[in-house]
Structure 1
Amino acid sequence: MPSIDSFKYHTYSFVRIPSPWALLYCLVLCSVTANFVQSKTDSSDVSALNVMYTSMNSPSQLDGWKSSGGDPCGQSWKGITCSGSKVTEIDLSDLGLSGSIGYKLSGLESVTYFDVSKNNFNGNIPYQLPPNLKLMDLSGNEFNGNVPYSISQMTDLKELYLNNNQLNGQLSDMFGQLSKLTKMDLSSNSLSGDLPQSFKNLSTLSTLYLQNNKFTGSINVLSNLPLDDLNVANNKFTGWIPNELKNIDNIKTGGNSWSSGPAPPPPPGTKSDTRASQSHKENEKSGLSGVAIAGIVLGFLIILGIVINLFSRRSTPPPHYIEDDMLSPRRPFTPLSSSELPSDFHAKSHKDFRELKSFKSSSSNRIKGLQASPSISLKLPSSTRLQSFSNNEFTNNLDVKTSSSVAIASYSLADLQTATGNFATGRLLGEGSIGRVYRAKYADGRVLAVKKIDSSLFHGERGERFADIVSNISKIRHPNVTELVGYCTEQGQNMLVYEYFRNGSLHEFLHLSDDFSKPLTWNTRVRIALGTAHAVEYLHEVYSPSCVHKNIKSSNILLDTELNPCLSDCGLATFFERISQNLGTGYNAPECTKPSAYTVKSDVYSFGVVMLELLTGRLPFDSSKPRYEQYLVRWASPQLHDIDALAKLVDPALHGLYPPKSLSQFADAVALCVQSEPEFRPPMSEVVQILQRLVQRSGISQRGDGLGASQRTDDSDY
């Protein structure tokens, strides 16, 4: 045992350490202590990774990960790299992961490297992604749906890999701010439509892979990009390969429908390309004078202009159709906060609204008996050639004697073909169980929606049966029901013409919106539920004879410019009796094992499912969820009366901005509607009363307040 003297000696020796070494020792000790303190990961990063882990079905191969809490940086979670307390890299490539990647990734503001490639993720790519990425690799998964527009805000992005998935639809014009992007791979998906014009802004792009998709149109937009590796093979591209691209060392263009022969000269006033320059040099060598060359070119242009003019008159729609189709027809309406709008936006919106109302009023005067609807609707363009309603042979079968009938305009097939670009794919708004819906645009800018009904549904009784349907639908008049403005029956075609809603459907707002779109506020969701309930109540209890809808779902609830709902497909229930497939997974009441089993009580159930969508933001059926969560009603119903559980059901996009009492009352109404026994479900008039009381107590306006109705700040008052 050491003596007291020796202890004193050692103590004294310690105290007498030279001061520079003592200072160094203290600095090291402080540094270690600081690092230990800072290892606690930022709470927003932890929350985002917790949600991501749960969305991935809590995989065991992710060492250290947790569904709540934890310290990713301090505990070295698998695939996570940090700098201080912030997560900077996520690398989960090729780990056999499944499910989805979560909805809170936008909170990972310091993450610059995000790689989840070569896994089994499915469903839509979430619109909430890390905003400051330099590399994002989602390749080799099973993602479907559209490329999220939130990518447009990743201004530091250098590498983007979305290849080998199941992505579809058109690319939005989202590349305007991605000037740092050097490599992009979208190959081996099902992407379609023309290449967006914002590709021109990819000023540093060196590698672009678009092969094995369904892209159409030309690739001229790529002409001036600094590409040295380009693959556009196996698409549906047309036109000519620009000469600028032919100089690329590594280029693949096979499997497209390129035009043969020499390419046309560039439009007058445009910068001459390499081809023109080479041609000029060759002409100089051949001894041709400048005047002779100009004469040849001018003659060629005149002949080409005549041919193009004749061809366009016969087979192509006016230029404004083509320009319109360059935009994504399915892109949801984007309600912005007042601070994000141009200073003259509201004035222009009100001006457009007044013009639409004026046009509607004048159209109503031209069509005898057509009543005005409080909803904004686009009526018959003056340029449309309408058949005489009284002299039309088909119209003789219509029930026009009933006083409640309204005269509906007859459109010619030729007019609708012109207005829809001959029912072009780019004009397709949607496809349902009974047919397709196309956007019809006229030269004066007015737009209608044309539903082409599948001819197989008529079973040999087309004329008389269609006449009955048109007659019945013409009598359905309600502010929250889409208005029929015309029909067409020619050459075996049967079409219904409706007002057009630029905002699209409730389904798009809830499930297809991206980071550019603001989510629907709680106030707006309640108003949509009430407006739709009014429409169903009208069909069930006011319209005579009572009308069962049979196809109530969020994609059939259209939203006008003020986000007021209009129920579509009313009066078409007779078609669903002849359709064997399920009308909509997750919407059908338990007793509806076949379409003919639908009643007003099954409509109430379907409406309850829509309310549940509004409450949770979830799809009625989602195969990407764990098995016990896939059917929304089955999963959510037991939790609707549990206050604690209810708070966890609410759509995360609301960010907690809702009054708890209003939420609870709304959930009570949902629970009544989705009861498994039809006799226990309330009539729609009772549901309307419940929602009206909820609206009155919360001080919610029953009509939309324009764009402001969708702002998050609406809910801050109570």
Structure 2
Amino acid sequence: MHHNLAGLWIAVLAVLTAAVHCKTNSKDVEALNVMYKSLNSPSQLSGWKSSGGDPCGDSWEGIKCSGSSVTDIDLSGLGLRGTMGYQLNSLTSVTSFDLSNNNLNGEIPYQLPPNTRFLDLSKNQFTGNVPYSISQMTDLDHLNLAHNQLKNQLGDMFKKLTKLKQLDLSFNQLSESLPQSFKSLSSLKKLHLQNNQFSGTINVIANLPIEDLNVENNKFTGWIPEELKDIDSLQTGGNSWSTGPAPPPPPGTPPIKHAEKHHSGKSLVTGLAIAGVILAVLAITIIAIAFFKRRSDSFLPSSHFLDEERRSRRSSFAPLASRELSRRSGADAGKDLKELSPVLDSATIDIKVLQNEKTTPTGARASVSDSESANRMIATRSNSVRATSFSLADLQVATANFASGRLLGEGSIGRVYRAKYSDGKVLAVKEIDPSLFHGGPPEEFSQIVANISKLHHPNIAELVGYISEDGHSMLIYEYFRNGSLHEFLHLSDDFSKPLTWNTRVRIALGTARAVEYLHEICSPSLVHRNIKSSNILLDSDLNPRLSDYGLASFYQRTSQNLGAGYNAPECKKPSAYTLKSDVYCFGVVMLELLTGRMPLDSSKPQSEQCLVGWASPQLHDIDALEKMVDPALRGLYPLKSVSRFADIIALCVQSEPEFRPPMSEVVQALMQLVQRSNMNMREDLGASRRTDDYDV
């Protein structure tokens, strides 16, 4: 009896111990690892690690958890330096995120914990824009970005932030007028905008239930709205307000919703009189109903007029047509408007698109089936990571013994086949040419597999497994049915809708992130050596996945290093290839996205055959640029966005490597392009496809 009881207690303690020391969600761990490295691995973050670890079980400094998920990050006032990392969007359970009062610099990352309610990044040295990704953080209650060096116009990003109660953007360098979406901040109690360079009027906030407003020391003009003058805590000095009585509102202006709290005594008396009349009418109505009880239905006041009034007050406004349509007219514009209806349904960026998350909306792709996920390569997150070893015999069956009908492509280091297994799993298999191995493949190939299997990023095609058997050396990847960017741009058929402009920008940004990861996050840095549109695969959501990374040693041994048209001027021999050569190749890919042309096309006139040589002199000529844009876009693009895109290309394809920017700057430039253009990125899936009929 006693032995059984003791055994029971031991079992209970074991369960409790396991619960207390449960492993933290792997995505949370990886995001915090990246963040730790980006903060320069500070000693004050006790318990933190640059690889692996258990933040919840081991009580990392400033981290709170619920179960195995990180929910709170409080690193305020720790003297931290560096940047915040690029993978914060993986922290999907975090609701409180406080990095205030540190020495963090650079731009605020576009990717932030998406479900945050409390976000405080104040008192740092952040530069650049307020990230547009905030537009999708619909649970935000408290946002504080004060005392930084943020600048430019505040994006129109507040339409969905109806829960936001406190907003502090004070002591920055923000400029121009307040965004119209401020009108949607229906819960806002505190708004601090002091010590910026805002201009224009503050009429957009007149209807908000603000109790604490500070707009001091800006460049505001016009009149302070009457509705704001009775706020308990109001500070408006240091602006250029107009004097004298304010002009009457324009005809048809709706009544102010919150005016009742600012009415004068006369208005109050009027209101009481109206209330008395209403009460009298109600009393008479009740008496009449009681007296004519049997005929009450016919005497009850109809709700028809009330409904009509409600309908008139909340009449919806159709969104303005995209600037992409302003270039069209007549029947063509009507037809384009119909095709672009997904764009016009929403005026916000889909943050999951820009963050390139692997999470998928309901009804969309599932990136890996259950059976496929069982064959993922990661056994641990340590340096001994190994990919799954596949059977050559099974692969021969899955590829019909490497039949020509299963051949997906052939490059300078080997062929790629499609393998379909009996359980429905489909994979892509890259066979490395045996002649590329010096003295035999096993040892070198094993090291390459180990290195590649450690690389994880939402915009790279991850390694699933490998085969090293009977003289065969093969790498096995996820298979993407949409094929490559090269196929989409240059081999599309009549059943494909062309890639829209927003899709092209998204592909450029995602690919740039992947290259940035290889160049600046991986240690040591990885040169890709084969960046081209045929190595940029597109998943079913048209997110880019860079392939062929980690194979630079093979490409260095081939005489044909790159596809024609991608070679940077310095690459006369493979040993001259550097990180900046990768940047050049990426610039060529961006040119393909802009023009729809191939890097080298012998069917064009002599002066236009080399894409870089033809396009480069025209990238800053706005008239020439319009003529260069891919005709498949049919004029549906914002010219400012195209011009900024061309500016980035021009930097990347400069002939001198030292003048080309690092990939982190390319990523930032593309993100700024998206933010400044207020791009709607949701239309991609509806307007760019390979499977739907193309309506001509």
Normalising by the residue count of structure 1, what TM-score does the alignment of the two structures yield?
A: 0.44
